[in-house]
Amino acid sequence: MSAPRAVRHPRFKLLALLAVFVLPLLVAWVMVAWRIGIPEQRTAHGELVPDIPALAEWPLAEPHAPLEGGDWVLAFDCAGSCEALADQWWRLHRALGSEAHRVSRLRIGGDSQALPGEVVARWSTPPGWRRPDQLWVLDPRGEAVLGYSAGVEPRDVLDDINKLLRMNPESSVKSARQVAQQ
């Protein structure tokens, strides 16, 4: 009598089962050890700026109380063509669409009047980390997250802000605070 087929090749089944679980681990180890197949691309267009102090510590002449509402802040130093920069970042703010209420704009410098939704301030003493026409994205706590040098493409900034807003959904604490104010 011959053995039933189910018991005939138990080693093959065991090896196949081990391969299903061990092969992905082996492939992952090879990718990490020899840097094969790991993407080298960046996901953010701006530079991380851990050396920049929180917004509350910035040497601004005017108070920045209107920005302390728990919003993300798009702060830019207006040194050169201030009207063009203010308009450019206003348009970017409008391009955020339904997420625009989560972002505030802070313009530092310039002689023109504030655009809608913009707070204007001036440096009391320009800090050493300041660069003319630079742009910073600050989180709701006022910590600088990303910095952009002069001449950055607004589309790149918009991509980064959309990613940040998508990865950090609106908090229920802020929603409760808005309901309490109404």
27 and 66 within one domain = no
Q: Please answer whether residues 130 and 121 qualify as being in contact, where contact means their C-beta atoms are separated by less than 8 angstroms.
A: no
Q: Is residue 135 part of a domain?
A: yes
Give CA separation, 113 vs 5, 57, 100, in Å: 85, 25, 21
Q: Which residues lie below 8 Å from residue 66, measured CB to CB, with a gap of 6+?
A: 104, 119
Q: Is residue 177 part of a domain?
A: no
90 and 61 within one domain = yes
Strand-pair partners of 76? 107, 135
> Mapping DSSP to helix (H, G, I), strand (E, B) and coil, where does residue 14 land?
helix
96 and 119 within one domain = yes
**Total domain count, the chain:** 2
CA distance 9 to 44: 52
24 and 97 within one domain = no
Q: Is residue 83 part of a domain?
A: yes
The tens digit of pLDDT for each residue in 11-45 reads: 888 889 889 999 999 999 998 888 888 776 666 77
Q: Is residue 123 part of a domain?
A: yes
Q: How many CA atoms lie within 13 A of 73 on its CB side?
A: 27
Q: Is residue 107 part of a domain?
A: yes
129 and 97 within one domain = yes
Which pLDDT score, from 0 to 100, does residue 173 have? 46
Q: Is residue 104 part of a domain?
A: yes
The tens digit of pLDDT for each residue in 83-124 reads: 888 889 999 999 999 999 999 899 888 777 778 878 888 888
Q: Is residue 42 part of a domain?
A: no
111 and 26 within one domain = no
Residue 11, domain extent: 5-34
10 and 57 within one domain = no
Q: Is residue 106 part of a domain?
A: yes
24 and 114 within one domain = no
Give CA separation, 82 vs 47, 113, 152, in Å: 22, 11, 15
114 and 26 within one domain = no
86 and 29 within one domain = no
The tens digit of pLDDT for each residue in 121-143 reads: 888 888 888 888 899 999 988 89
Q: What is the CATH number of the domain that holds 101?
A: 3.40.30.10
